[in-house]
């Protein structure tokens, strides 16, 4: 592997600290900054009285720099242990989020999981997350939150009636690069979505095809269509 390829692969670290106090995260990120690594994801995975666990994903780190970075983190008085971990991108890959009514969500997931399995056994990583929700405010909040979820690339809206602020939220996250599929239902959401599919199982299948690197499915050629 050449140096460029090594830099493109994220370095994932789980840092376990001996204290959970103000300034602990700053101390960790200062070491990362000193090594000119870029933080692409950070999560406080665990908090306890005797310490915390902080997960980092870093880019622009070559192998030689990585070892030095880990040593400098371990040298901090607050650090108990630093462990390398496989990145979330490597383990779970791209995320498809399915939101809506329980029955419809369940059927979409049947199609999405079956299609994702076909791609994942060939080396891709596509995961499917769900939350059954009702109510315009709950749904619009959930839609907008998809743009803040790590690795989320597509949203499926699976319900019997959606519109109003939910449709506005769909337009907003599409502007941020999220692909949105909708079941064929009353309301303004189907008009706001990239693609509308009547059958929920098929909708799940097409959501996976839309984000897969290996599927011959171009969402740009399907936008505005209904099936």
Mean pLDDT value across residues 22-50: 89
Bridge-based pairing of strands 179-183 and 152-158 is parallel
Bridge-based pairing of strands 11-17 and 79-85 is antiparallel
Give 41-94 pLDDT, tens digit per residue: 999 888 887 788 999 999 888 767 889 999 999 999 999 999 999 999 899 999
Contacts of 94 (CB under 8 A, 6+ apart): 125, 126, 127, 151, 153, 154, 211
Looking at per-residue pLDDT, the higher value among 188 and 47 belongs to 188
Looking at per-residue pLDDT, the higher value among 221 and 123 belongs to 123
Q: Is 53 left (phi over 0), alpha (psi -120 to 50) or beta?
A: beta
Bridge-based pairing of strands 79-85 and 94-100 is unpaired
The C-alpha atoms of residue 197 and residue 204 are separated, in whole angstroms, by 9
pLDDT of residue 8: 56
Which CATH number is 3-87's, of 3.30.830.10, 3.30.70.260, 3.40.50.720, 3.30.300.30? 3.30.70.260
Which of 156, 99, 159 has the alpha carbon at shortest distance from 130? 99
pLDDT of residue 1: 38
Percent of the chain with pLDDT strictly greater than 90: 75
The C-alpha atoms of residue 16 and residue 78 are separated, in whole angstroms, by 9
Q: What is the pTM of this model?
A: 0.83
Task: Return the number of other C-beta atoms located less than 10 Å from residue 213's C-beta.
Answer: 11
pLDDT of residue 9: 64
> What confidence tier does 220 reach under pLDDT thresholds 50, 70, 90?
confident
Percent of the chain with pLDDT strictly greater than 70: 96
Please say whether the beta carbons of 151 and 88 come within 8 A: yes
Please say whether the beta carbons of 140 and 168 come within 8 A: yes
pLDDT of residue 182: 97
Looking at per-residue pLDDT, the higher value among 48 and 125 belongs to 125
User: Domain ranges in the chain?
Assistant: 3-87, 92-226
For the domain made up of 92-226, give the CATH fold.
Rossmann fold (3.40.50)
């Amino acid at each position: 592997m050449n140096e460029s390829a090594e830099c493109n692969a994220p370095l994932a670290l789980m840092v376990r600290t001996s204290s959970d106090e103000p300034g602990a995260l700053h101390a960790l990120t200062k070491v990362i900054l000193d090594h000119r690594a870029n933080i692409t994801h950070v999560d406080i995975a665990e908090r306890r009285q005797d310490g915390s666990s902080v997960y980092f994903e870093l880019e622009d780190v070559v192998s030689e720099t990585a070892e030095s970075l880990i040593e400098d983190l371990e040298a901090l008085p607050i650090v108990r242990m630093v462990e390398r971990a496989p990145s979330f991108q490597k383990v779970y890959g791209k995320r498809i989020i399915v939101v809506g009514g329980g029955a419809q969500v369940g059927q979409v997931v049947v199609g999405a999981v079956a299609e994702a399995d076909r791609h994942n056994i060939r080396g891709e990583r596509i995961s499917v997350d769900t939350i059954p929700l009702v109510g315009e405010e709950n749904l619009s909040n959930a839609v907008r939150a998809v743009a803040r979820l790590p690795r989320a690339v597509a949203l499926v809206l699976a319900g019997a009636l959606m519109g109003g602020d939910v449709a506005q939220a769909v337009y907003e996250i599409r502007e941020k690069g999220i692909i949105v599929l909708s079941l064929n239902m009353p309301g303004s959401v189907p008009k706001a979505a990239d693609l509308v599919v009547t059958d929920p199982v098929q909708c799940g299948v097409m959501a996976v095809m839309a984000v897969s690197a290996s599927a011959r499915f171009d969402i740009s050629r399907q936008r505005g269509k209904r099936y």
